[in-house]
Structures are given as C-alpha cells and as structure tokens.
Structure 1
C-alpha cells in the first residue's frame, strides 16, 4: 500500500491521430485526434470514472491532441485540465511533418544522430534530448513537491512518457527504447521519499485497439 509520503502519477499518452498511423513525426505541430483517438479518449475516461480514483489535479499538454483526450476525462471525472507547454512533445525541428522513412532518405546524417539518441544533438531549431529531459524532469519533480501524498493525472505525449519511464527505472536517455507507449493506455509511476518508482505500465485493458507506432 502506498504510504502517506507517496505521490502517485497516472500518465496517459493522447489518443490516436492520423499522423500516428502514418508514422509521421508530430513533435509540436498541433495535430488533432482522429475518430479512433476520440473513441479511445471516451473509453479511457469511462475506465477512470469506473475505477473511482480521486485525482487531485489533471495536468495536460497544451497541444490539442492532448487537450482533446483530457477534455473527455474531465467531462466524466469532475476535473479541470491545467494546460502547460512544459508537457508538450519534444520539438523535433526539421524532422517535424516528415515520416521516419522520409527523414532517413532526405537528411540521413541528421537521422542517424537522431536515432543514436545522442543527448546533445538538436535537430535544427528543435530540442536536444538533454534539454527535453530537463524540461520533463523538472515538471515532474515540481508536481511531486506540489502534491505530496496525492494522486495526479497527466495527459501528454509519447516522448514525455518515455522520459518518465526512464526516470522511474533509472535508465539513461541514451538507452534505445524497448518498452511500449501505446495511445490512451494507463501508466503509473510514484514518487516516494525522494525516489521515482515504476508501478504499472501500458495497461490497455479498457481499449479495443491501441497503437505504438515505434
């Protein structure tokens, strides 16, 4: 059982978009949910309502695919979304709008650096992994301090959840991803006495279909 000093975070990647299907890098381009994504948001919202979880706050990326997902949750769970740019997806610079295949062909050396997970590499005007990690880690550390002993819901993006998973498992950002981050799944981490821990990951039991395009 969680102690009084445990702050729990339920993390949700937004519902599906057409660009997820196309394996197109969205980054901070403001793409909306597709029909499947909207249905996933509804199922997610109903699952949370049926679980009867008492969330103290709902934080959400200010990009519309996350806000649309959070709006469904807020409707059924009496929560007010708090939108913040700090939960945005990583800015992928000149990769944004390209599919992974297009990026590999058009800018192969940049793509190689991108895929190598070099922490210092920034794609053009985008964010390096190191800068992105710092942004995400700072948000979670401050939210944990703001909500001691409470349960917090966060709706964001695959890249943000990637950083959170590594944070909870003490994995370096250079480690190639070998864990799933499906659309609209439930993921739980906790902050206990100054340490991040993984509770449960990629729970899709409320969904008929969910995508991890990577």
Structure 2
C-alpha cells in the first residue's frame, strides 16, 4: 500500500501565545522558550528517518522546522497551505477583547459554526479543505517515507479531526501543545492516527506547555 508517515508538529511558543493573543497570519517570532522547545523537538527526532521537512511560511513555524532540518542537513520546504487559519479582524486581539468587542461573533467562533468567518477571515470549511488538500499534495510525494510538517494549532486540530473522523463542530478533547510531536499515517484514502501529543522531550520545562487551537 502507498503510505506516508507524517510527524506533525506545532510551532514553539511565542509571546502572543503567552498573552492569549490571536496570531493567525500575523508573523510573530518564537520567544526564548519557543526556541528552546524547537531545539528539544529536534533532539527528540534525532534518530527518526526523515525524508523531508515541510513548514508553514510563517516565522514561528519555519524557525521550529529549521531546528529540526538543520540537525540532519535537510532544507526546509515552505508551503502557504500549512498556514494558520486566517482570523481576519480578530488577529492581534486577545480572547477577552474579542468577546467584549464582538460578542455575537465570539459566540459563533466558540460554537465552531462551520461557515462562520471573522470579517476578512477564513471559515472552518475552507480551512479544512485547504489543510486536507495540502497534506495530500505533500504526503503523496513521499510514498514509503516519513516527513515532518510543522504548522499551527488550528492546522493540527484539523489533522486530528481528519484522522479520527471527528466532526468539524465536535468539542475538542485533545491537546495541541507547542512543539508537541504527533504521528499520522497518510494513504490516498486519507489520514489515520498513530500517536498524539508526545511532549516527553519538554518535561523538564518549568512551565506546562501551552495548549491553544487558535494561534
């Protein structure tokens, strides 16, 4: 069977993650803790066979991917299809600011209304289609191999739902940790889940890893 193993990794932490501020397509760099997390992820994967490293073109994901790729002399291939969801006018705002400024929109967001998009942003149906198409495109290049894909909380959330058959509106019961390692199998028929939320390489961090799906 034609299959590709995927190591799906969320970027390391940023200052805006700490502030619960929505990043979306705004290009925020890793903070010091995020850089440390990226190095630890690279170390955790040092013995893994990796054919290619793919990343969102946003700096927080690309820097994380560079740490992993550099450890084995590989280039990072960027793909805009791995970007975070576009949150339109929500971007740059904290969750509290959104709930105060646009309470009706905040409720639609919290309820995961599939066709809801913040003004100028992307709805969940469009996001799911984008991620599914991107992962299919990239994984199909590597039959019988393993690849790394470094992306964002919203992207990882979609991958989990696709791999487990979870509805787009189902409440999230899984974590989306910064620099967590998640394992999937791809075949032309779709994704399946192998392992999720491995953060053993981060256990000596004094702070618990952040878990947000929106940044």
TM band (smaller chain): over 0.9
Report matched runs for 1:128-147 at 5 Å. Answer: 128-147=123-142
Runs of 4+ aligned residues of structure 1 deviating over 6 Å after TM superposition are none
Structure 2 partner of 1:183:
178
CA distance in 2, matches of 1:88, 1:5: 26
Structure 1 partner of 2:94:
99
Mapped contact 1:45–1:77 kept (Cα < 8 A): no
Partner SS state of residue 187, structure 1? strand
Q: TM-score, normalised by structure 2?
A: 0.93
**Residue 74 (1) aligns with residue 69 (2):** yes
Mapped contact 1:30–1:64 kept (Cα < 8 A): yes
CA distance in 1, matches of 2:141, 2:25: 26
Gaps of 5+ in 2: none
Cα RMSD after superposing both structures: 1.2
Report matched runs for 1:34-183 at 5 Å. Answer: 34-49=31-46, 52-183=47-178
Structure 1 partner of 2:11:
14
Count of residue pairs the alignment pairs up: 209
Structure 1 residues 87-122: Cα deviation after superposition (integer angstroms, max 9, x where no partner): 100000111011111100111011111111111111
Gaps of 5+ in 1: none
Shift of 1:186: 0.5
Partner SS state of residue 132, structure 1? helix
CA distance in 1, matches of 2:59, 2:16: 14
Mapped contact 2:3–2:144 kept (Cα < 8 A): yes
Shift of 1:144: 2.6
**Residue 23 (1) aligns with residue 20 (2):** yes
Report matched runs for 1:192-203 at 5 Å. Answer: 192=187, 194-203=189-198
